[in-house]
Structure 1
C-alpha cells in the first residue's frame, strides 16, 4: 500500500526536520510557514484516512447485523465473488445420468 505509507513517512520526516531545527539554534525557533502548512495538510489527510477506515468498518458491521447470523462466516464473500461454471455443472449432470465417458485433459 504505497498510498498509505507516503503520508506516514512524510509526517515522520516533518517531525524529524522540526526537531533538528529546534536543536540547531540556541533559542526557540518557529517553523517556516510552508512547513507549518505542509504539516497541517498531512495531519488532515491522516485524520480523513482514519475516519474513512472507521466508516468502512462500521458499514461492514451494520451489514452483518442486518443480514443476521450465517451458518459459516465465509459464505458472504463466496456468494459475491464467485461465478457460475456452466461447464462443471454440465459435466456433473452427464455423470449423474449414467453417461460414463473417458475424460482426457492435457496440461
Structure 2
C-alpha cells in the first residue's frame, strides 16, 4: 500500500470513529437523523481531517512528535465529532422551534 493510501485510510478511520464516538454525546432521534449526521460526520472528517489535525497539533505544541498519519487520524476524528455534535444541536433547535410555532397557531 502506498503512503497516500494509508493517509486516506487514516482519514476515513478517524472520520468514522468521530461519528461513532459522538453517539454518546447527542443521541439521534431516529434512523434518518442518525444516517444524515453520520454522513455529514464522515464527509467533514474526510474534507477537514488534515487541516484540523495540524491546527490541533500546533495549538497543543505537539506537531513535531506526531507523524502525518496520526495528525490526519486525530483531525478527522475531531472534525467528524464536531460536525456530528453541531448538526445534532441545530436539528434539535429547529425541531423545537417548529413545535413552538405550531403550538402558537393552535392557541
Task: Tell me which structure has the larger Cα radius of gyration.
Answer: 1
TM score, norm. by length of structure 2? 0.38
TM score, norm. by length of structure 1? 0.38
The answer to which structure has the higher helix fraction is: 2
1 or 2 for the larger relative contact order (CA 8 Å, sep ≥6)?
2
